[in-house]
A and B are shown apart, each in its own frame.
Chain A
Amino acid sequence: MRWIKVPVFILCLAPALWLVWKGFHQDLGANPIEFITHATGDWTLRFLAITLAVSPLRRLFRFPGLIRFRRMFGLYAFFYGSLHFMTYLWLDKYFAWNEIVKDVYKRPFITAGFLAFVSMLPLAVTSTAGWIRRLGGRRWQALHRLIYLSACAGVVHYYWLVKSDIRKPLMYAGIVLVLLAERVITKMRKAKLATRVLVPQSD
């Protein structure tokens, strides 16, 4: 079943290819840089949500095999996040570092976006099997909870930058909230189950 990863990989790459295609055909609208910024930002948030959805979906559909895609989805979130960040650094600011540094500490929505990106960095670096071994499963897992921070910061970044129509950022916020709430509920259930097993004749 390893081959199934190939079409999924290509599917995940499709938004980037679609952007390149549109770019070549001068079809990115009147403000291409803004178009690229929005598209890559959108896909970063989508892949963060897709990555976060893997564990809940495994539980919901009793389909543990989904785990094999999680790393790929996570790395794609990082890939689109990097494109988004590069668009900002290169196309939008043209590497005007003093301006960029000022932006990051002065403009809350950029601070949030920067935080979302930076917290993905260690996750991308430690995504290999070697790093899981080196860190040990438990510590590795603890580190990778940083994705919660990244997703939340990403949603806040989006919410803070829109002018007045907050429907889309709220939609992402709702999705991330549900995916995080599912984890809390699962954890509480497990804790309850554990106490029941430990003290069987308490009543």
Chain B
Amino acid sequence: MLVKRGEEIRYSEVTPWNVYLNRRRFLAAVPAAGAALFTSRASAAAKLSAVKGPFSTDETVTPFKDVSTYNNFYEFGTGKDDPAKNAGRLQTSPWNVTVEGGASKHQVFDLDALMKMAPLEERIYRHRCVEGWSIVVPWIGFPLNVLLKAAKPNAKAKYVAFQSLYNSRYMLSEAAAGIEFPYVEGLRMDEAINPLTLLCFGMYGQVLPNQDGAPVRLVVPWKYGFKSIKSIVKVKFVEKEPNTTWNMANPREYGFYSNVNPTVDHPRWSQATERRLGEFFKRKTLMFNGYGDQVAKLYAGMDLRKNY
């Protein structure tokens, strides 16, 4: 019986596996390379020099690779590795930060002007996520109070509200992320002007990678990480406690204050311990993430169980 065979593919015509893989890798690299061409800040080597600042810990610094590939930045995906893959689309230049409710109605600070308001300092802070992991990061920036003082808040201002950039063209929808956008956060005025509170532009001697909140973010080291809002476009002085994104999403689980507190559990998990990235054993979580000397006085007489 005659069996008709289809045309056989010769080995010479088959793409070798490693070439095939390289091709894939090349295709994957094209958008990133394109993005790098158009945004100068996207290049990983953009150095940022700084003087040594106060309050630094001498604990082992977490590797840059971990801090730049393990992120919560829901605008770019809810998986820990999503922001590193997707945040390349963020345009960080030109960048303006608008301040409202100060000396004049609208004050616009261009990023370059903003960065020159004070000498940049390197501060090595502990950073504790509400999910139970922590890192140690050499941030670069200056105290937020420099900007706040320059903007001259009116006497009625009791809180400061912050807002992240949101662009639905290249960021997740609210439905997909499960939280509202744009992301908003807030601090009480005394928290905002505390010398620990950092307006941050870089880390590890370079400008912030997009996935870590480029080009300008907040670092509030005694509070859970989500209070340290990323990619800030707006700062506003307000009289009443402002809305905050995670509090709106789940008020029972995420309070306005969200101070790191090992004695007040998240309703679904314990906050008594944390996993420092790179360590096998969990370590005990410190009250106010170890910054009690600087900030405990802000909450004197407050019930931290109620004001979680």
A34 to B80, CA, bound (A): 10
Q: Contact check, A164 vs B74: say whether CB atoms are below 8 A apart.
A: yes
| Interface membership of B70, Cβ < 8 A | yes
What is the size, in residues, of chain B's interface with A at 8 Å between Cβ atoms? 25
Contact A31 B80 (CB under 8 A): yes
B80 interface neighbour in A30, A99, A108, Cβ under 8 Å: A30
1/0 contact string of B167-184 vs chain A (CB within 8 Å): 000000000111100000
Give A166 to B66 CA distance when docked, in angstroms.
25
The answer to whether A165 has its CB under 8 Å from any CB of chain B is yes
Set of chain B residues within 8 Å of A161, measured between Cβ atoms: 268
* Closest CB pairs A-B (n = 4): A164-B178, A30-B70, A30-B66, A165-B78
Which residues of chain B have a CB within 8 Å of any CB of chain A?
Answer: 65-67, 69-70, 74, 78, 80-81, 131, 133, 176-179, 249-250, 268-270, 275, 277-278, 281-282
Name A residues whose Cβ lies closer than 8 Å to a Cβ of B. 29-31, 33-34, 94, 99, 103, 107-109, 160-161, 163-167
Q: A30-B277, A31-B80, A31-B277 are in contact. Are A167 and B70 (CB under 8 A)?
A: no
Q: Within the complex, which residue of B65, B133, B179 is in contact with A31, where a contact is CB–CB below 8 Å? A: B133
Which chain A residues border B268 with CB–CB below 8 Å?
107-109, 160-161
Which residues of A lie under 8 Å from residue B177 when comparing CB positions? Answer: 164-165
CA–CA, A60 to B239, complex, Å? 64
C-alpha gap A99/B177 in the complex (Å) = 32
A165 to B175, CA, bound (A): 8
With contacts A30-B277, A31-B133, A107-B269 taken as known, whether A164 is within 8 angstroms of B80 at the C-beta atoms is no
Which of chain B's residues have a CB closer than 8 A to the CB of A94?
281-282
User: Are A165 and B277 also in contact (CB < 8 A) when A29-B70, A29-B80, A31-B70 are?
Assistant: no
Please, how many angstroms separate the alpha-carbon atoms of A108 and B269 in the complex? 10
- Docked complex Cα distance between A99 and B273 (Å): 11
Complex CA distance for A33 and B179, rounded to whole angstroms: 26
A165 touches B275 (CB 8 A): no
Asked, given contacts A164-B178, A166-B178, whether A29 binds B69 with beta carbons under 8 Å apart, the answer is yes
Residue among A31, A103, A107, A161 having the largest count of chain B Cβ atoms under 10 Å: A31
Other A-B contacts than A30-B66, A164-B177, 8 sampled, CB-CB below 8 A, are: A30-B70, A31-B277, A33-B275, A34-B133, A94-B282, A163-B178, A164-B250, A165-B177
- Cβ contacts under 8 Å, A166 to chain B: 178
Docked CA distance A166–B250 (Å): 14
> Bound complex: CA of A161 vs CA of B132, how far in Å?
13
